[in-house]
Structure 1
Amino acid sequence: MSSEIAARQIHLDGKVQGVGFRPFVYRLAREAGLVGWVSNGLDGVHIRVQGEREALDRFWEALLRKHPPIAAVTHSEIREAPLGTDSSFVVRESSQEGKATVLLLPDLDLCESCRSEMHDSKNRRFQYPFTTCTDCGPRYSIIRGLPYDRERTTMEPFPMCPECAREYRDPADRRFYSQTNSCPTCGVRVDLLDSGGARLASGIPALDEAAGRIARGEIVALKGVGGYLLLVDAANPRAVEELRRRKRRPTKPFALLFADLESIRREARAAPEEERWLLRREKPIVILDRREAGGSLAPGVAPEEDTLGIMLPSAPLPSLLLDRLAGPVVATSANLSDSPILATEREIVASLGHVVDAVLSHNREIESRLDDSVVRFSPFFRHPILLRRARGFAPLYLSEGFELDPEVAILAMGAHQKSTVALAHQGKIYLSQPLGDLESWESQENFRATLSHLRRLLSFVPKRIAVDLHPGYASTEAGRGLAGEWGLRVEKVQHHRAHFWSLLAEHSLLWEREPVLGVIWDGTGLGEDGAIWGGEFFLWREGRMERVAHFDYLPLLLGEKAIREPRLSAFGLWHSSEGLRERLEEKLLPVERRIYRALLARGDFPRSSSVGRLFDGVASLLGLADRVSFEGEAARGLERIALRLCRALGGVGAVRGREPYPLPSFPSGGVVGLDGLRAEIARDLVCGVPSEEIALRFHLSLASLVGRIVEGVGCRRVALGGGVFQNGLLVDLIEALWGERISVYIARELSPNDESISFGQMVASAWGSGSLRRVRS
């Protein structure tokens, strides 16, 4: 007896568009002998299938288990449907009805199949710099609308030639419904321009000429997936120094682009986990330990650094360019200081025409600007720490352990530095790429444009808006403006609490019965008492967050100026130390000494508990940095020399018995006094103790303090957040000292720095409205 015929209607939501899901469904249904259709919608993928019940059951099981590896199903529904008259299985045109809930897919790197075609002289895509298929290629950077179809991307101006159209319609071809499909006949054109924008060459000759110019020491701008990069030969000292001079970037390390792992291994030491990250689909910059000798890189690539920031090409164009060069290139973002990465030919010529010698560009527009993502590993326990969560990650965030009420619509505006925006929409979370520091008009324009783009894509109208407590932040001002437009109340979330909210949600600690200590250390954030916070201890207990301790307030001389000049933090912290008087005054002009001493005598300065400024002060005392040209420069120097000594001693395990500088175990009145630490550091300096010994003891003091306060407040869990915990040595020391007695949580899918503030603001708002639910695995 034949099995009963039935029909079913299926809805799948999640990471199901732009990943080859419709071709997968088509082939699966045809193999199972089913009829019906599959279609993209604003809310995911819709499927109608009809056939024997046993075949339908097998189809449903395979649908959820065997989908493309780059896909992710976050929600699935199946229900019985009336029998229809379908005679075959087809891919229907996309529907634009309903609400947009489908996840926006990050950009994907070049797959191996496309790479092989690109290097096959007999293939029609030989040397074609925009080769893609359903498994690879740009996504978020080119999307203009949903559902994800070619006509709603920046590929729309490129009609497919007959051969590409045949591939697009052929179920047996891996380019079946590949929205970025193109070839040299119908696709994107690569051009080489001079610094004034005049075209010099196109196609393969453009690639050849660009490579020749780089080999001759010139600076070439390359249009990448999310914006332009500035390239020079990384082995040419004169070219690297010229790039630094023209871009006015004196010391900040440059990122490097290598062709393959083999060439990376000649310059850096990459552990297995680091190599896996280099090869991941996101293709981030990975911070690797450089080899001590034998390298060919120019000294100016990363002055004073023991590490190199290295990535592999994520797209065909840079890959083909590297094929024409003898070694790696510097690949640094093409932008003005603190401004967004440039994304159009007009911008590159107008803003950096004086910097570049030529521009390797193309005629596909970039809809969303994206920098490269950056990751480092802690030196001993090998914890990955995301320093920048951008291309390859944004704007996708798949939560684990909790879900949002689909009816809640929250817009979180983030911080002022390393700004991001977060949207809670239809039960999904969207976290933008980093949008820079909102000091410049260009950064603020990019901030507004990105927010507008996400709102338009999702037809998003917020019901709640969360902002930072600081009234002068550009993000806060923008949030107030939008709240006025929609008649909403602004919810203020204190900066460091937002960091802690982010960690609590990421690790599903919000529902823990046992208390959790949040150790949130960074450079700057307005506190609830009007001071500048940055060395905070919060306790999460029974659904409430309480500030239980903080570092003693130190003088922040001239406010923002102290951030750029660590010598001011050193002077503010140690100005009363007679033993260091001469050392400190050498850092100041006579007029500065009088002004700063008068300010200190009057108490005329902002107060700050910032651990970031504490790092700055110690670094300046040790002669590492009196002024900085980029954020975190002083702290990096301090970690670098401490890590050198730690490794020489045999690792973090070998330093556990060393004596830390004194910090109170149980702070009086919740204040961690600094007198003992300051006095002993001063004494060590006067006695000529080596700088690396002082730096390591300083790190050890902070790590020791964390565990003592965890035990002092009576809990066994600690979450570490804020920009200070980009310091891998500090993270490892805490684990080495306390890991057997307490559970330590750090950011995994997010960054510990201010990029996570918007996510934390969103979580705080959702928790306050009762819109968060725990999901047990």
Structure 2
Amino acid sequence: MPGKAIRVRGTVQGVGFRPFIWHLARQCGLKGGVWNDEQGVMIHAWGSSAQLQYFIRQIPLQLPPLANILVLETTELTTRSEHNSFEIIASQQHAFAQTMITADAATCPECLAEINDPHNRRYQYPFTNCTHCGPRLSIIKAIPYDRCNTSMAEFPMCPACQAEYDAPDNRRFHAQANCCSDCGPEIWLEDARLQNISSTDPIIQAALLLQQGQIIAIKGLGGFHLACDANNEMAVTRLRQGKKRYAKPFALMAKNSQQVKEYAQLGNIEQQALTDKQAPIIILAAQGKKQAHSVAPAEDKLGFMLPYTPLHYLLLQHLSSPLVMTSGNLSDEPQCTDNQQARQKLAGLADYFLMHNREIVNRLDDSVLRHLGDKIQVLRRARGFSPEALPLPKGFNKQLQILAMGGELKNSFCLLKDGMAIVSQHIGDLENVAAQQDYRQQIKRYQQLFDFNADIIAVDLHPGYLSTQYGEQLAQEQSISLLRVQHHHAHIAACIAEHGLAIDTPAVLAAVFDGSGMGLKGELWGGEFMLADYVTCQRLGHLQKVPMPGGVQAIREPWRNAYAQLAHNFDYTAISKEFADLDIIRLLETKPLSILATMIENKLNSPLSSSCGRWFDAFAALLGICPEQIAFEGQAAIMLESLAASEFIRQQDNAYDYAIESSHNICVLNFRTLLLAVLQDLQQQRNKAVIAARIHHTLISASVALLLKLSAQTQTNTIVLSGGVFQNKLLLESITQQLQLYGKAVLSPQKYPVNDGGIALGQALIAASIQVI
């Protein structure tokens, strides 16, 4: 009787993979066994050739919900079967050294049915889970992923749960977080004085308080949320003031897709993403019923997610309107994960606390996605996605271990090991001390979990980035090689790695638009046209370089960028007289322009920058969009996009003029004529939505024209679009569609963030490619 040894690598431990193989093998009439080992799962199976072929073919087609196969290899077995049937064999020692850790997953339909069944022993139990769903990364402390190495260790299973855990034909076979109300975590409600609220059902009591306009800190899967009724303007305003988050939209949680549709446009692609096992926040166009205005002031989009734990499901069952469900923190600080920490940090913010006693080991923010073109794009990669691994494209050295430190804003880091790239969950902006501490702690945790020892550390070129400084410190302490990677090159490498381009793939053409990244000679880039592969990167063009008066302050105050554009392209005294009646000129006349002019002339804290982000800020300020100060990164550009949306299609053939110039064999996009035309339209009091749409079309037209010119020059037909500015839906979709009409293959990030949350992946691949070459 022929036999096959079948090696499976990927996310195949702790996800019900062995019981799945056991069932499938028995259905196929095979003999043999399946077990975990240090590389994943090994299967030895004996049967007829037809049985074995069918069995192997069905494995990837019938996977458990959380399983993911990266490698499936078969070899012939020369020995005869010693088994009378097919068995699950005890795992070998050190069976978990090279295996993947599963991401946390939304509650599965089977568990939902149980918590809704009055006759089930898990009826209304808020911590119900199985091998198909529930906590993973959020509770794990060490490998192997056994209960003793998780925060469930302090909850010994009752006899009924233990029996499920031990039964191969049960979906809770080896479910490490398995529990019930007799043996698992408990939930309770506290008031602002930290006194327990006596209630037979804390969840029902919490729902009543939310309906009354109270703010509740809810301990969830990867951290605390602050929740209130999304239709209660007073509650939402009070939450904004308490969090010191004055403008950025709040995330929302609805009880089901039907409720989402009452407030927002929900297409088939968005609905599929919304209801998937990751249960992310999906950015949707608002329509229909209105939320409280303060949920998303001055925006036409809403961020919705659905309940992803039994606790959330049970709570939303008792509410008739969606909840604001924003991270439980003060603005810019990491989300609280510890009960005592939440009591201290959120005191005065939350009226009540819905607590539980299961420790959150690893903080996980909610992931954020958006439908762009015909695909879903990840904007923030965290719960539900991390720490899923990306197999390295063909040609990379699988033996190297590389730690890539990421950027300063929207930070994540990356480990390269065993031919896999493991990108951490979203850490956040490292400008905050608490975020820095969390960053360092998470790096240590990942190194422990993945038995990782870096051969190389990759950092951003910018010496002021705290991620760069920490990478330098680690490299020095551990005598490890350090590689500095140009910011926009990392954006490109991350994108082509995600799309599986081999190490020897010819260079691609790329437009990388973002806020700023350090160039090769210390200047600030951000509107770049480049030719790059994993090893090399050549700058072919850029947006016109304009000073940033005040440096970082110009990021916070858009009026500075408007002045810089006007002063750089015109005689400011003359242009300000010609358009003296415009609001932006009147505002600028109240500013210390003589000081700024001196700073620019003497190159004092006024670096030249080709930043596309600052370009958008300048035009937003011209149109009166938060010219004085932004409340969060990208606010001005986001509001300019929202303003443009209603007129965008009607103005698609109505771009303003621009010029493509050449300087030292590098193409430069000059928008002097665009600036003048916008000022003239404003003076004639034209519709600002029309002007905003035409501004967008001008950048789109200029970018497409330059990319086509460079494509012809370089004979390159694959084009990458990346960088945080490409979170702009109008920009990304239009440039993509127009390039595709000319037969170009257009790649943009999807599984990894287009913003700086994805650059750690690129840093790691660049470091690995240089070692190979």
Asked if Structure 1 and Structure 2 have the same fold, meaning a TM-score greater than 0.5 normalized by the shorter chain, the answer is yes
- Residue number among 721, 729, 745 corresponding to 1:743 in the alignment: 745
Provide the residue aligned with 1:764 in structure 2. 766
* Structural mapping, 1:259-338, within 5 Å: 259-291=255-287, 293=288, 295-338=289-332
- Corresponding residue number in structure 2 for 1:133: 130
Output the CA distance in 2 between the equivalents of 1:542 and 1:267: 44
Verify the 8 A CA contact 2:644 2:690 in the aligned structure 1: yes
Q: Is the 8 A contact 1:523 1:613 kept in 2?
A: yes
Deviation of 1:66 (Å): 3.2
Q: SS of the counterpart of 2:518?
A: coil
Instruction: Rate the CA distance shift 1:375–1:62 in 2: closer, same or farther, 3 A.
Output: closer
Give 1:105 deviation, angstroms: 1.2
Query: Partner residue of 1:596?
Result: 596
The aligned counterpart of 2:113 is 116
> 1:775 aligns to what?
none
Q: Deviations over 1:418-456 (max 9, x none)?
A: 111111111111011111010111101111111111100
**Would the aligned equivalents of 1:665 and 1:709 in 2 still touch at CA under 8 Å?**
no
* Structure 2 runs not aligned, ≥5 long: none
Q: Which among 420, 433, 440 is matched to residue 428 of structure 1?
A: 420
Range moving further from structure 2, 41-50 or 693-702: 41-50
Q: Which of the residues 233, 237, 240 maps onto 2:236?
A: 240
Q: Shift of residue 543 of structure 1?
A: 6.4
CA distance in 1, matches of 2:119, 2:314: 17
- Residues 635-654 of structure 1: pairs in structure 2 closer than 5 A: 635-646=637-648, 651=649, 654=650
Structure 1 stretch 571-580 or stretch 209-218: which is displaced more? 571-580
Matched residue, 2:701: 704
Match of 2:204 among 208, 225, 238: 208
Q: CA deviation at 1:42?
A: 3.7
**For the residues of structure 2 that align with 1:494 and 1:190, how far apart are their CA atoms?**
48
Contact 1:660 1:704 in 2 (8 A): no
1:607 deviates by: 1.4
User: Cα offset for 1:221?
Assistant: 0.9
Native 8 Å contact 1:226 1:371 kept in 2: yes
- 1:39 corresponds in structure 2 to 35
Whole-Å Cα distance in 2 between the matches of residues 724 and 258 of structure 1? 29
For the residues of structure 2 that align with 1:766 and 1:514, how far apart are their CA atoms?
17
Paired amino acid for 2:728: N
- The CA deviation string for residues 321-376 of structure 1, in whole angstroms up to 9 with x for no partner, is 00111211000011122221111111111111110011111111112111111112
Change (3 A) 1:541 1:35: closer
Report the counterpart of residue 142 of structure 1 in structure 2.
139
Residue aligning to 1:631: 633
User: For structure 1, which segment, 247-256 or 668-677, has the greater mean C-alpha deviation from structure 2 after superposition?
Assistant: 668-677
Number of residue pairs matched by the alignment: 756
In structure 1, how many angstroms separate the alpha carbons of the residues matched to 2:738 and 2:29? Answer: 61
- How much does 1:478 deviate? 1.3
- 2:689 corresponds, among 686, 689, 692, to 692
- Indicate if the aligned counterparts of 2:493 and 2:766 stay in contact, CA closer than 8 A: yes
Give, in angstroms, the shift of residue 34 of structure 1.
Answer: 4.9
Residue 456 of structure 2 is matched in structure 1 by: 464
Paired residue for 2:489?
A: 497
C-alpha contact 1:513 1:541 (8 A) present in aligned 2: yes
TM-score (norm 1): 0.92
Query: How far apart, CA to CA, are the structure 1 residues paired with 2:747 and 2:580?
Result: 41
Aligned-pair CA distance for 1:507: 2.6
1:342 aligned residue (336, 343, 368): 336
Query: After superposition, what is the alpha-carbon deviation per residue over 1:603-622, rounded to whole angstroms, capped at 9, x for unaligned?
Result: 32111110100100110111
CA distance in 2, matches of 1:581, 1:766: 56
* Partner Cα distance (1:10, 1:672) in 2: 56
* Partner residue, 1:535: 527
User: 2:565 maps to which residue?
Assistant: 573
Distance 2:142 2:687 in 1: 59
Residue matched to 1:561: 553
Q: What does 1:611-630 align with in structure 2 at a 5 Å threshold? A: 611-626=612-627, 627-630=629-632
Following superposition, the deviation at residue 766 of structure 1 comes to 1.4
* Structure 1 residues 591 and 302, CA gap change in structure 2 (3 angstroms): closer
Q: 1:681 aligns with which of 678, 681, 685?
A: 678
Asked whether the equivalents of residues 41 and 147 of structure 1 are also in contact (C-alpha less than 8 Å), the reply is no
- Cα 1:151–1:290, aligned 2, differ >3 Å: closer, same or farther? same
Does residue 1:661 correspond to 2:657, yes or no?
A: yes
Q: Is 1:717 equivalent to 2:726 in the alignment?
A: no
Kept in 1, the 8 Å contact 2:392–2:420? The answer is: no
> Shift of the alpha carbon at 1:172?
2.6
**8 Å contact from structure 2 (residues 223, 335) kept in 1:** yes
The answer on whether the counterparts of 1:115 and 1:316 sit within 8 Å (CA) in structure 2 is yes
Deviation at 1:265, TM superposition (A): 1.2
* Residues 1:253 and 2:246 aligned together: no
| Separation in 2, partners of 1:486, 1:600 | 42
Of 81-90 and 178-187, deviating more is 81-90
> In 2, Cα distance between the equivalents of 1:509 and 1:9?
30
**Which residue number corresponds to residue 518 of structure 2?**
526
**Which region of structure 1 is more displaced relative to structure 2, 576-585 or 263-272?**
576-585
Structure 2 residue 468 is the aligned partner of structure 1 residue 476:
yes
Aligned 8 A contact 2:6 2:42 in 1: yes
Counterpart for residue 774 of structure 1? none
Structure 2 CA distance for aligned equivalents of residues 212 and 445 of structure 1:
37
How many angstroms apart in 1 are the aligned matches of 2:38 and 2:149?
12
* Cα separation, 1, equivalents of 2:659 and 2:690: 17
Aligned-pair identity in percent equals 37
Matches within 5 A, 1:95-114: 95-97=92-94, 100-114=97-111
Which residue pairs with 2:757 in the alignment?
A: 755
Could you tell me how far apart the structure 2 residues matched to 1:81 and 1:130 are?
47
Cα distance in 1 for partners of 2:579, 2:772 equals 54
Greater shift, 689-698 or 665-674, is seen at 665-674
Partner of 1:507: 499
The Cα of 1:681 is off from its aligned counterpart by 2.3
The whole-number CA distance in structure 2 between the counterparts of 1:580 and 1:489 is: 56
Matched, 1:367 2:364: no
RMSD of the TM alignment (CA)? Answer: 2.4
1:461-498 per-residue CA deviation (whole Å, 9 max, x = no partner) reads: 01111100011211111111221232122100011111
Alignment of 1:355 with 2:374, yes or no, is no
Seen in structure 2, the aligned counterparts of structure 1 residues 145 and 45 have a Cα distance that, compared at 3 Å, is farther
| C-alpha deviation, 1:102, in angstroms | 1.4
Local SS of the residue matching 1:523: strand
- In the alignment, is residue 384 of structure 1 matched against residue 384 of structure 2? no
Is the CA contact (8 Å cut-off) linking 1:43 and 1:102 kept in structure 2?
Answer: yes
1:17 CA displacement: 1.5
> Is the CA contact 2:652–2:694 (under 8 Å) kept in the aligned structure 1?
no
Task: Give deviations 1:19-78, integer Å, cap 9, x for gaps.
Answer: 210111222344455555433234212334466776555544444543324322222344
SS in 2 for 1:524: strand
TM-superposed CA distance for 1:552, in Å, is 2.0
Query: What TM-score do the two structures reach when normalised by structure 2?
Result: 0.93
The reply on whether 1:179 has 2:161 as its aligned counterpart is: no
Q: Is 1:221 paired with 2:217? A: yes
Counterpart amino acid of residue 352 in structure 1: L
What amino acid is aligned across from residue 258 of structure 2 in structure 1? E
Any conservation in 1 of the 2:456–2:482 contact (CA below 8 Å)?
A: yes
Say whether residues 1:74 and 2:70 are aligned partners. Answer: yes
- Does residue 12 of structure 1 match 2:19? no
Q: Is the 8 A contact 2:253 2:322 kept in 1?
A: yes
Are the aligned partners of 1:666 and 1:709 in contact in 2 as well (CA < 8 Å)? Answer: no
Distance in 2 between residues matched to 1:768 and 1:44, nearest whole Å: 29
Corresponding letter in the other structure for 2:343: V
Greater Cα shift, 117-126 or 589-598: 589-598
